[in-house]
Structure 1
Amino acid sequence: MTGGATGGDRVRYLRYRPGPDPLAPPFDTAGALRGLGRGVFAGKRPHQALRDLLRQGVQGTAGTDELLRQVQERREQVARRGGLDGVLRRARAELDRAVGMELRALAADPSDDARIRESELASLPHDTAAALRHLLTEPYPWRSDEAREAVARLLEDVRNDFVDARLGWPGARRARGVQGSRGALASDPARVAAMATALAALLEADAHGEPVDLDRFMAGHGAFFPEFAEHPRDLDDLAEALARRSAAARAHASSLSPDRRAELEGLIGEATREAGLAEALDRLADALLRRRPDLVREAFAEVDGARELGLAEAVDLIEELAELDELGRALGGGLGGGGFAGRGGLDGVDGLDGVDPAVAGRLLGPEAAEAVGRLAEVEPRLRDAGLLTGGRSRPRLTPQAVRQLGEAALRDLATGAEGRRAYRSGGHGRAQDRASGRAQAQAGDPGATVPWEPGSPAPLDAVATVREAVVRRAADPGSPLLSPEDLRAVETEERTAAAVCLLVDLSSSMVRGGLFGPAREAALALYTLVGARYPQDAVRVVGFDETARPLSAADLLEAAGPRVQGSNVQHALLLAREHFGRHPGRAPVVVLVTDGEPTAHIGRDGSPEFAWPPRPETAGKTEAELDALAAAGATVTLIVPGVGEAASSSAGEAASGLTGRTASGLTRAVTARGGRVVRTAGAGLGATVIDAYRSRRPRT
């Protein structure tokens, strides 16, 4: 359509074609990596974390779980659309109407012949096909022309419905739409039979490796396939839609009871007796099935609706149900019974490769197509950005991804509300930095800043001060434009190097409490902070359960092994002491994260010994390691996660309880040696770890 406009401009109106939203925000690769990282921190392998990310959705689009819910909801709606035997009910109603018209014509005739015919009509079989066979085998001499024409229309309608059910959209229905309500397919069954025979022969020849002349076939029968405006790409292209339609027609028949199926086959046989139409279409269906045996459909016995569907409408319904089941399986659905059985491709991450956004859009709507498109690009985008490597079924995070996850973890701790509260509580963290998206300033940089303190001779840094105020106001819009805590001064003092050891409990209790992921994320954030802001410090992270072992930054993103009981704090403290021995002259800092008492220690033979309840020997060996650290000048900050809002205690508070709890053996041992105990909610664990490190590292 065109329309006039000022200056003689012309406007063209084109048909709407669904596609990606041009106003949609660009793909957030960093956000996708962050979502993937949450699963990896929790101990999942990258392919498992990626699968979970796709299940949850990205950037506000539906994930596969939501799409599966929509598939199931749509499936239930389709299954209630109508009954599968509606063609038999319609045919019986039309036949009864024709018989009624004939009986009215016979009632006006007082002859014995009329009574005999009335008796014959009254004794017609209830089976519609058998009744028609009785009337057609020895042609019944109709008295009513209207009745005779009604039976002829009934047979013609069943034949047309049968052709439509077998050829379906876009062939038969579209041809009828172009050529009229009857068209060539309805008025010339011989032509349909010739096309079906020729296409079956073409498929059979191709299956035997013989050459096929597709051009010749299209020249003779192209009118049946108007969807191919010029020419199909190949024989598979031509056969694909017909194969799906044929499979749906077979599934429709198998969904009927044996009696109704036999009645339908008989009805179709009577309607298509001429020109060998049924035989030709059956031969074509067999050839299509041999070409696409994967399209064999199971019965859909759950279909049950009040509306009486014609044969083509019923096959439409079956075809849509089959497509919904295919979509459900591809999305990872595992419903059994009347749903999509089995597991889909998401078990191997690349399952969305088999999901066509156009199909999802046609079945569920344009938003589903957009969601499938977004989900399908998650993994390729991460790979293109250099964040994932390895095979499709077992992807791996690259060093660049590890670095970015560390920066993101540190940035979240520095800018999040939990992080700010943890940093600012108790007066600790006077030297904390705000993480930005870029690497932190290196040690000794003249641009590095620290919180300004009254009486400090260091000059104020206006840019850093404004940045702090903006970050604070973003989290709390009602706060003042400028607060004393926003003030930043240029750092001029020299730093003393530290040897820091973070000891993280990775036992099964931490996993059960949901603390495993936050603990590993906190450790990666510490690695990132030290590497970027305090490169002169020597940092070591030790993970422990029944035994303790050093963990690199990459190790923190490895999949979790089997859950192991036991918290061997003694072994972890021993590895910390060894770390300090390798870095003499650096101030020792120990941060210990555990949610329970020590329950394991290293025995005389060097193997771990676990006991519950804890044995006195375990407590004694743990306290001996604390004594050795204290002798080396190291103080321990014990962080107990998962117990509510952050609170701290010192040696003097140990006797009266910690945040309302009776002091445990470990907390008493730590505080008795000048250490500090901090209890924190799981969400604040990372910020508490960073604060403990920053507040304990020495400054000169």
Structure 2
Amino acid sequence: MRTPRHSSRYGRYSGGPDPLAPPVDLGEVLDAVTEDVMAGYSPDQALREFLRRGGRNQRGLDDLARQVHQRRRDLLSRHRLDGTVQEAKKLLDRALREERDQFLRDARMDPTDRQFREMRLDALPSSTAAAVTELSDYDWQSDAARRNYEQIKDLLGRELLEQRFAGMKNALQNATDEDRAAVSRMLEDLNELLEKHARGEDTPEDFERFMNRHGDQFPENPQDIDELIDALAQRSAAAQRMMRSMTPEQREELMALSAQAFGSPELMSQLDRLDAALQGLRPGLDWSGSEQFEGDQGLGLGDGTGVLQDLADLDALSEQLSQSYAGSTLSDLDVAALARQLGDDAAVAARTLTELERAMRDSGYLRRGTDGELRLSPRAMRKLGKSLLRDAAGRLSGRSGRRDTRLAGAAGEQTGSSRPWQFGDVEPWDVTRTVTNAVTRTAASGADPSAGLQIDVQDIEVRETEARTQAAVALLVDTSFSMALNGRWVPMKRTAIALHQLISTRFRGDALELITFGRYAQTMDIGEL
């Protein structure tokens, strides 16, 4: 029996954050935060400042906000909203051209009838909507002209439905009378369900019954009536904003054309009823806003509504990225909307910033005080002190950092470590390490063990000792205004923290006190400094 083959496809992971990505590195964040704290920011402000500007290889909120603003500006500068009217005009011009060509081809046509028809076509108003209405009872002689004219009604019906139901335009292309009747029944049932919900009389069974009948027309697959209303209301509000964004002439022309949708004014009546119900159920949405479009690419009703929805998404993202409202955190970011508008890379950058913020708050580097304000924790202070001490030691090359002592003849205290013996060392041997080194060397050389163990100079290790003294150390720090005025404020704090770290870790037996002086002297905790 032949084993069936299974083909595999590999591609870029797109299911969210990379599950194999290394954990976020907080070192750069902590360095930036502590630097800003020393410059006078609060830890919370410093963290927000880092998230705003980003790091060496990390895009910040400001960069994402600039992209959002650019995307919004591009949408407004690229498009205009008369696409449906222009498409209807093209279909009408094509129908009139086909009809006049038919007059020339049909030699059997009565001359008086031809002349009457030509006069009627020549007398059509310049307004596309008025001309379409004028021709509603016209007896077309050309089949091609009749089809083009009927396409205008079909186009308007599909565009009006696309405004409220995304995907309906393509679904109803070449629709039959039965398809249109099914849409009409869906609208009737939907309006009844929404009005019943507004009165508080609906049940979950009503929603289930509606979805069983018409669920194939809702690709969003709402799970309850609230999800259904949310999806429909956002689209409907965008359609209202689109109408308000048109010029008065465009709006008047479109409203006149809409009466011809599917050849029946009933569709507009049902849609008006739907809009009214949705606005009553979701009054908090923006139903009255408008935008200024300045481009030359015409948008149909459906596509225009989609662009207005995109603009609403971008406005919401702009507010989320600003983090300017009370209680704002990066967890408020709608990462799915960011991916839709700016792409996956922007979404990855936002997720990383969110993870950095969460990790900084959960890592123990920041601690909330009794007054509710964030402060650097002792752990963060120790890490900062080590970093500043390394930086200071690097600048003072050739200095050992040890304290001189005048005590002679004292071996000092053992540190617990050992090292190879060097000429001149007077420290005691580390016998265990010395014998172990001799055994290891003898075994590696293949010598006969019965000859005894020979200790060589290179085997000898001595115990490290350290001469220690105790002192009372007063670390004086100038905190007068002149330090800030002359640009010495941050260097002073860097030096003070480095010295504090050196004394508190290297000479733990010392009595250490930090004293600041400006108008008067006072003792101060290093964290407070």
1:121 counterpart residue number: 121
1:246 counterpart residue number: 236
Once the two structures are superposed, residues 588-626 of structure 1 have per-residue CA deviations (whole angstroms, 9 ceiling, x without a partner) of xxxxxxxxxxxxxxxxxxxxxxxxxxxxxxxxxxxxxxx
2:306 counterpart residue number: 316
Cα 1:238–1:454 change in 2 (3 A) is farther
Cα 1:222–1:521 change in 2 (3 A) is same
Once the two structures are superposed, residues 569-605 of structure 1 have per-residue CA deviations (whole angstroms, 9 ceiling, x without a partner) of xxxxxxxxxxxxxxxxxxxxxxxxxxxxxxxxxxxxx
**Which of 144, 158, 172 is the matching residue for 2:142?**
144
**Which of 273, 276, 280 is the matching residue for 1:283?**
273
Cα 1:390–1:420 change in 2 (3 A) is closer
2:38 counterpart residue number: 41
Cα 1:145–1:9 change in 2 (3 A) is closer
Q: Secondary structure at the match of 1:79?
A: helix
Once the two structures are superposed, residues 255-278 of structure 1 have per-residue CA deviations (whole angstroms, 9 ceiling, x without a partner) of 111111111111112215527212
**Which of 157, 160, 185 is the matching residue for 2:158?**
160
Q: Residue type matched to 1:191 in 2?
A: A
Q: Secondary structure at the match of 1:295?
A: coil
Measured after TM superposition, the shift of residue 421 of structure 1 is 4.2
1:500 counterpart residue number: 474
**Which of 6, 9, 30 is the matching residue for 1:10?**
6
What is the correspondence of 1:193-342 to structure 2 with a 5 Å cutoff? 193-212=184-203, 213-228=206-221, 232-272=222-262, 274=264, 276-296=266-286, 298-301=289-292, 303-332=293-322
Give TM-score, length-normalised by structure 1. Answer: 0.62
Measured after TM superposition, the shift of residue 218 of structure 1 is 0.8
Give TM-score, length-normalised by structure 2. Answer: 0.80
2:354 counterpart residue number: 376
Cα 1:192–1:8 change in 2 (3 A) is closer
Distance 1:525 1:324 in 2: 46
**Which of 408, 415, 418 is the matching residue for 1:446?**
415
Cα 1:322–1:32 change in 2 (3 A) is same
Moved more, 497-506 or 262-271: 497-506
1:642 counterpart residue number: none
Measured after TM superposition, the shift of residue 459 of structure 1 is 8.5
Measured after TM superposition, the shift of residue 387 of structure 1 is 3.6
Q: Residue type matched to 1:45 in 2?
A: S
2:439 counterpart residue number: none
Measured after TM superposition, the shift of residue 153 of structure 1 is 0.9
Unaligned runs of 5+ in 2: 404-411, 431-461
Q: Secondary structure at the match of 2:101?
A: helix
Matched, 1:534 2:507: yes
Distance 2:234 2:28 in 1: 40
Measured after TM superposition, the shift of residue 17 of structure 1 is 3.9
Q: Residue type matched to 2:147 in 1?
A: E
Once the two structures are superposed, residues 388-439 of structure 1 have per-residue CA deviations (whole angstroms, 9 ceiling, x without a partner) of 4549x96523xxx5323222223323444xx344222xx655429xxxxxxx
Q: Residue type matched to 2:189 in 1?
A: A
Cα 1:89–1:25 change in 2 (3 A) is same
**Which of 409, 422, 426 is the matching residue for 2:384?**
409
Q: Secondary structure at the match of 1:331?
A: helix
Root-mean-square deviation over aligned CA pairs: 3.6
Once the two structures are superposed, residues 625-658 of structure 1 have per-residue CA deviations (whole angstroms, 9 ceiling, x without a partner) of xxxxxxxxxxxxxxxxxxxxxxxxxxxxxxxxxx
Distance 1:29 1:260 in 2: 55
Q: Residue type matched to 1:163 in 2?
A: L
2:526 counterpart residue number: 553
Q: Secondary structure at the match of 1:76?
A: helix
2:440 counterpart residue number: none
Once the two structures are superposed, residues 81-136 of structure 1 have per-residue CA deviations (whole angstroms, 9 ceiling, x without a partner) of 43211111111121122122223334565734433332322232222112211222
Q: Residue type matched to 2:225 in 1?
A: L
Matched, 1:192 2:170: no
Q: Residue type matched to 1:152 in 2?
A: E
What is the correspondence of 1:40-59 to structure 2 with a 5 Å cutoff? 40-57=37-54
Measured after TM superposition, the shift of residue 527 of structure 1 is 3.2
Distance 1:234 1:357 in 2: 24
**Which of 63, 69, 79 is the matching residue for 2:76?**
79
Query: Contact 1:192/1:277 (CA < 8 Å) preserved in 2?
Result: no
Distance 1:449 1:242 in 2: 76
What is the correspondence of 1:576-587 to structure 2 with a 5 Å cutoff? none
Matched, 1:359 2:337: yes
What is the correspondence of 1:81-120 to structure 2 with a 5 Å cutoff? 81-106=78-103, 111-120=111-120
Query: Contact 1:197/1:283 (CA < 8 Å) preserved in 2?
Result: no
Distance 2:211 2:484 in 1: 69
Query: Contact 2:364/2:379 (CA < 8 Å) preserved in 1?
Result: no
Q: Secondary structure at the match of 1:251?
A: helix
Query: Contact 2:82/2:298 (CA < 8 Å) preserved in 1?
Result: yes
**Which of 388, 402, 406 is the matching residue for 1:431?**
402
Between the two proteins, what is the percent identity of the paired residues?
A: 33
Distance 1:326 1:160 in 2: 29
Measured after TM superposition, the shift of residue 330 of structure 1 is 1.0
Cα 1:550–1:325 change in 2 (3 A) is same
Measured after TM superposition, the shift of residue 546 of structure 1 is 5.0
Cα 1:115–1:264 change in 2 (3 A) is same
Unaligned runs of 5+ in 1: 1-5, 333-344, 433-442, 462-487, 557-700
Cα 1:11–1:141 change in 2 (3 A) is closer
Query: Contact 2:381/2:527 (CA < 8 Å) preserved in 1?
Result: no
Measured after TM superposition, the shift of residue 220 of structure 1 is 1.7
Q: Secondary structure at the match of 1:555?
A: coil
Distance 1:533 1:121 in 2: 101
Measured after TM superposition, the shift of residue 189 of structure 1 is 3.0
Cα 1:493–1:132 change in 2 (3 A) is same
Q: Residue type matched to 2:124 in 1?
A: L
Q: Matched residue pairs, number?
A: 481
Cα 1:141–1:211 change in 2 (3 A) is closer
Distance 1:151 1:211 in 2: 42
Measured after TM superposition, the shift of residue 370 of structure 1 is 1.1
Distance 2:402 2:311 in 1: 63
Distance 1:17 1:182 in 2: 36
Cα 1:403–1:390 change in 2 (3 A) is closer
Once the two structures are superposed, residues 461-497 of structure 1 have per-residue CA deviations (whole angstroms, 9 ceiling, x without a partner) of 9xxxxxxxxxxxxxxxxxxxxxxxxxx9944212131
Cα 1:402–1:153 change in 2 (3 A) is same
Q: Secondary structure at the match of 2:79?
A: coil
Measured after TM superposition, the shift of residue 160 of structure 1 is 0.8
What is the correspondence of 1:639-654 to structure 2 with a 5 Å cutoff? none
Q: Residue type matched to 2:415 in 1?
A: P
Cα 1:146–1:45 change in 2 (3 A) is same
Query: Contact 2:85/2:128 (CA < 8 Å) preserved in 1?
Result: yes
